[in-house]
Amino acid sequence: MWKWLHPYAKTERTYQLCQLLLPWFSVFGLFIIILATVWGLAFAPTDYQQSDAYRIIYVHVPTAVLSKSLYIAMAVAAFVGLVWQVKTSFMAMMAFAPVGATVTFVSLVTGAAWGKPMWGTWWEWDARLTSQLILLFLFLGVISLYKAFDDKQQAGKAAGVMAVVGIINLPIIHYSVEWWNTLHQGATIMKLDKPSMPPEMLWPLLLSILGWILVCGAISMLRLQNEILQRDLKRPWVVKLALNEHVWGDKK
């Protein structure tokens, strides 16, 4: 792990890696998201139970899946930073955090919008919605802790500790909320048992998940690059990079 990671402790290498991957992630990501969304919204068959309301899953499910993955990614970055003292790792953590918070928020909004036709109410204290809400708070906690510090290195370490505490807590929160939900609500919510999805519905869903993953990856990488440039503003390689860009722009 250490050997593989070691070169990326240098911010310059990480920046270059992002630069290399970014076009692939952004172009493919956008293309796939558009394809999958159009397919899902316009061409996938109508559900016999939920009619067209189910189509929100083409946004809701990818964001819900990604929210947790991004939290895990953030916590892993934090852990690597804390244990191996890799500075870039904290930058990556903070690149993931706002993306994760946004995605979680989108999943909450779409979840609520889906709840309206299904449950007849915008907000139901459903287990999944509730744990998404707490996840959003965990994201916001990490972000606000980071913002509270002036010294960014100290901020990274502090927010990293909180991210790791959060990830240990996440499964406990998840199960406790689920258990609380069954205890209090029982049969009042219409629980949808998982019917096997016909492939015409499943394919666009899988595609849109992939698209969201790529786009979130691209945004995170952009954020990481920005963070690196800001923090290393006075390092020679950044100065050189800025000069090169300028010359290149002039030629055009």
Among residues 41, 53, 112, 161, which is the contact residue for another protein, using CB under 8 A? 161
57-86 residues near another protein, rule: CB under 8 A? 82
Among 201, 189, 178, CA closest to 47: 201
Question: Residue 250 interacts with another protein (CB under 8 A)?
Answer: no
Count Cβ neighbours within 10 Å for each residue of 220-231 and write b for 16 or more, e otherwise. Answer: bbbbbbebbeeb
Using CB under 8 A as the binding rule, whether residue 167 contacts another protein is answered as no
Rounded least distance, CB 195 to another protein, Å: 30
Q: Which is nearer to another protein, 62 or 160 (CB)?
A: 160
Q: Of 157, 116, 163, 94, whose CA–CA distance to 135 is shortest?
A: 163
Using the contact rule CB under 8 A, the part of the chain among 52-60, 164-172, 196-204, 205-213 near another protein is: 164-172
Residues 6+ apart with CB under 8 A from 45: 198, 200, 201
Closest distance between another protein and the C-beta of residue 153, in Å? 7
Residue of 92, 162, 213, 215 that binds another protein (CB under 8 A): 162
Using CB under 8 A, pick the residue from 166, 204, 211, 217 that binds another protein: 166
Per CB under 8 A, the segment of 43-51, 73-81, 173-181, 194-202 that binds another protein is 173-181
With a CB cutoff of 8 Å and minimum separation 6, the contacts of 32 are: 207, 208, 210, 211, 214
Q: Quick check: 231 binds another protein (CB under 8 A)?
A: yes
193 near another protein, rule: CB under 8 A: no
Q: What are phi and psi of 186, to 5 degrees?
A: 50, -115
Q: What is the largest CA-CA distance in the chain?
A: 69
In the 8-state DSSP scheme, what is residue 7? G
Binding track over 118-157 against another protein, x by CB under 8 A: ----------------x--xx-xx--xx--xxxxxxx--x
Q: From the list 109, 173, 206, 210, which residue makes contact with another protein (rule: CB under 8 A)?
A: 173
Residue 134 or residue 189: which is nearer to another protein going by CB? 134
> Which residue, 131 or 208, is less far from another protein as judged by CB?
131
The burial class, CB within 10 Å (0-12 / 13-18 / 19+), for 73 is: buried
- Tokens linked to 40: 């899902």
Residue 10 binds to another protein (criterion: CB under 8 A): no
* DSSP secondary structure, 34-93, as one string: HHHHHIIIIISPPBTTTBGGGGGHHHHHHHHHHHHHHHHHHHHHHHHHHHH--HHHHHHH
| 9 touches another protein by CB under 8 A | no
Residue (of 38, 10, 24) closest to 213 by Cα position:
24
Structure tokens that stand for 191 in this block: 């629980």
Contacting positions for another protein (CB under 8 A): 82, 134, 137-138, 140-141, 144-145, 148-154, 157-158, 161-162, 165-166, 169, 172-173, 176-177, 179-180, 183, 231, 234
